[in-house]
Chain A
Amino acid sequence: MTPSPEERPEETDMELITRWKAGDSRAATRLVGRHSQALARFAASVGEREGIEELVQDTFVRAFASLDSFRGESTLRTWLFTIERRLMLDRRRAERRSRETVPVEESDHVSEYGALDSLIAEEAQERVRLSLEALSPTQREVFTLRVQQGLSYKEIAEVVGSTEGAARVHYHNAIRTVKEFLRDE
């Protein structure tokens, strides 16, 4: 008995993409279901305050509109993180422009931490929040992608537009800060 599309185990992202291109909308549902929460967590982790659901929607809309340019050289999730991060940067840029403050450079970072103020309740979580607040925006992005999302340094470098070596350095500095913070608490 052939399993239904929803029951197919462990279909790869590329297989689902191929199915979607062939007109199977259920493949899109599976892809979105597979990656949407990770995108939402990443946005929240790096300090996105509002409109996370809309941000995730926009990420998928943009990704599906340009799937032909995705060649599978990185994982789909890494590619989605890259798109999402770009959208977050655009948001920040638009917000700052509307406030007529200092223009955002390409190297600017996504987050102004503080979004987790009301998001993490327990004591251990509060300590983690404080330790992440102590990181620079780039360290926080790298650390979140490495620890919470499990991306490799190469993938992180792709997402944040940096080098693999720089990603390693940011991670080392970040874990050292987090350890000191958790030790002192």
Chain B
Amino acid sequence: MNNCTDTNIQEILPDLLHRTLSADARERVEAHLATCEECREEVEALRTVMSAATFAPTIDVDGVVRRIPPYQKITPMVELPARPRLVSWLVAAGLAITVAGVGSLLVTRENGTQAPAAVVITGPAGQNPTQPAPISSKTPEPATLPNTGVETIQPHAHALALAADVDGLSDGNLVQLMNEMNRFDALPATEPDPVISVDSGYNIEQDLR
């Protein structure tokens, strides 16, 4: 047996058996087969494979067709007309104003409804002003500062914490403000620890005096 190296012929041998070759190609292949024992053997092998019918179930054509949904043409999506640029800017400005207004309203309402803590700052004798004052759920009462010389703290004083300018606050208000800030739960956890420890015995009021 020779070793045929004509791969062009070998590649189209299945087409010879399927009768899909052109007349010219068929003549060329048949001429080659007349002289090539290996390719003749290959054709026989292909015939054997093709004749070895593989079992496959008979398909119920009508059953398949019944499952096929009716044709629905896929329509391309309709593009919306481009919105004029001025309108887009107006819409954006309107949205911004609305958001800002609603935000301001919410902040204002929150400040007005939140019950201020009733802070009692006691005198310096044996009392610890740094101890958190009890938070009352009832109507807040003005804090008292007996015998301290510090003016009475107004119930709305804590709202001053939101003010950017604290220059106008009195010392008493500043003290109360600092005490209240110590009790804020909303302060970030990364808030640095106060330099002055509660247990250190340091009394800020003494320092202020």
Does B172 touch A at the CB level, under 8 Å?
no
A–B complex contacts, Cβ < 8 Å, 15 sampled:
A25-B65, A39-B59, A40-B59, A43-B56, A44-B55, A64-B68, A65-B69, A125-B53, A128-B49, A146-B14, A148-B50, A150-B14, A171-B11, A175-B42, A179-B41
Does A116 touch B at the CB level, under 8 Å?
yes
Complex Cα spacing A31 to B65, Å: 9
Complex Cα spacing A64 to B68, Å: 7
Report if A53-B60 is in contact (Cβ < 8 Å); known contacts: A68-B73, A178-B45.
yes
Report if A57-B67 is in contact (Cβ < 8 Å); known contacts: A119-B55, A150-B15.
yes
Complex Cα spacing A44 to B56, Å: 6
Does A153 touch B at the CB level, under 8 Å?
yes
In the complex, the answer to whether A179 meets B42 with C-beta atoms within 8 Å is yes
In the complex, the answer to whether A52 meets B7 with C-beta atoms within 8 Å is no
Does A147 touch B at the CB level, under 8 Å?
yes
In the complex, the answer to whether A21 meets B71 with C-beta atoms within 8 Å is yes
Report if A57-B63 is in contact (Cβ < 8 Å); known contacts: A64-B68, A178-B45, A178-B49.
yes
In the complex, the answer to whether B56 meets A128 with C-beta atoms within 8 Å is no
The 7 closest A-B pairs by CB, nearest first: A119-B55, A128-B52, A40-B56, A150-B18, A36-B59, A125-B52, A44-B56
Chain A residue contacts of B49, Cβ below 8 A: 128, 131-132, 143, 147-148, 178
Chain B residue contacts of A147, Cβ below 8 A: 14, 17, 46, 49-50
Does B22 touch A at the CB level, under 8 Å?
no
Interface centre among B50, B67, B71, by most A CB within 10 Å?
A: B71
Does B74 touch A at the CB level, under 8 Å?
yes
Q: How far is the CB of B172 from chain A (nearest CB, A)?
A: 72
Residue tally, chain A, CB below 8 Å to B: 51
B18's closest neighbor in chain A, by CB?
A150
Chain B residue contacts of A125, Cβ below 8 A: 52-53
Interface centre among B10, B18, B49, by most A CB within 10 Å?
A: B49
Complex Cα spacing A146 to B61, Å: 25
Contact with A along B51-95 (1 / 0, CB 8 A): 111111111111111011111011000000000000000000000
Q: How far is the CB of B34 from chain A (nearest CB, A)?
A: 19
Residue tally, chain B, CB below 8 Å to A: 37
Query: Taking beta carbons and an 8 Å cutoff, which residues of A are in contact with B?
Result: 20-21, 23, 25, 28-29, 32-33, 36-37, 39-41, 43-45, 52-53, 56-57, 60-61, 64-65, 67-68, 116, 119-120, 122, 124-125, 127-129, 131-132, 143, 146-148, 150, 153, 168, 171-172, 175, 178-179, 182-183
Chain B residue contacts of A33, Cβ below 8 A: 61
Complex Cα spacing A157 to B207, Å: 89
Complex Cα spacing A93 to B52, Å: 30
Does B203 touch A at the CB level, under 8 Å?
no
Chain A residue contacts of B68, Cβ below 8 A: 28, 32, 60-61, 64-65
In the complex, the answer to whether B14 meets A120 with C-beta atoms within 8 Å is no
Complex Cα spacing A164 to B63, Å: 36
Does B48 touch A at the CB level, under 8 Å?
yes
A33's closest neighbor in chain B, by CB?
B61
Chain B residue contacts of A20, Cβ below 8 A: 71
In the complex, the answer to whether A116 meets B7 with C-beta atoms within 8 Å is no
Complex Cα spacing A141 to B143, Å: 90
In the complex, the answer to whether B65 meets A29 with C-beta atoms within 8 Å is yes
A176's closest neighbor in chain B, by CB?
B42
A44's closest neighbor in chain B, by CB?
B56
Does B131 touch A at the CB level, under 8 Å?
no
Interface centre among B20, B46, B63, B74, by most A CB within 10 Å?
A: B46
